[in-house]
Structure 1
Amino acid sequence: MASQRSTTTDHDEIRAWVEKHDGRPAAVKYTATGDDPGVLRIGFPGGMGPDVIEQITWDQWFGKFEDEGLAFCYPRRQGEEDSTSFRLVER
């Protein structure tokens, strides 16, 4: 079946999709400065390990998400399991 993508800035929608896929808010290690958590990522089981990313809070993640004016682009597939391939894009 054809893959469809959705783009959203809704925090509840993003969090629900990430948690449905066992993901957690994260940032690339050693990119944080002061209150800035650094380069945003989502940590999924079997994905980048703790030597590359570190878990952060949803408040930190969404704070940076809003500061950078980002949107969350994720796949929606009908009739098969969703992929965890997402992108953070400019609004």
Structure 2
Amino acid sequence: MADESETRTTTDHDEIRRWVEENGGSPASVRGTEKGDDDAGVLRVDFPGGAGEDQLEHVSWDDWFAKFDASDLAFLYQAQRSGGGGSTFFKLVRR
């Protein structure tokens, strides 16, 4: 039997988007870290109760994934909390 709090790592855009949206998040970047008009900056996910609008700027999924792929990143996330229920734990890691 798998540990319910296990982490998973993926580069699948649909899986990432589904997990983020199921947990109430949206794609974002750290405000002020962009390097030009076509750069999303340092990637984050904005969850309710997180860093908020003063630090994060919402970006489109297309822009988020373009930066994700260009930066050769993978998405490591906790499928659910050890006690059950949704989790918002994730990290962006090098592939």
Query: Into which bin does the TM-score normalised by the smaller protein fall?
Result: over 0.9
Q: Contact 2:4–2:79 at 8 Å: present in 1 too? A: no
Alignment partner, residue 69 of structure 1: 72
Higher share in strand: 1
* Stretch deviating more after TM superposition (11-20 or 33-42): 33-42
Report percent identity of matched pairs: 54
8 Å CA contact 2:40, 2:59 repeated in 1 = yes
- Equivalent residue, structure 1, for 2:57: 54
2:39 counterpart of 1:36: yes
Residue 66 of structure 1, CA deviation: 0.2
- Letter of the 1:81 counterpart: G
TM-score (ref. length: structure 2): 0.90
Please list every run of 5 or more consecutive structure 1 residues that lacks an aligned counterpart in the other structure. none
How many residues matched?
Answer: 91
What SS class does the counterpart of residue 84 from structure 1 fall into? coil
Query: Which region of structure 1 is more displaced relative to structure 2, 28-37 or 69-78?
Result: 69-78
Shift of residue 81, structure 1, vs aligned partner: 0.9
RMSD (CA atoms)? 1.4
In the superposition, the TM-score normalised over structure 1's length comes to: 0.93
Q: Which moved more, 1:71-80 or 1:21-30?
A: 71-80
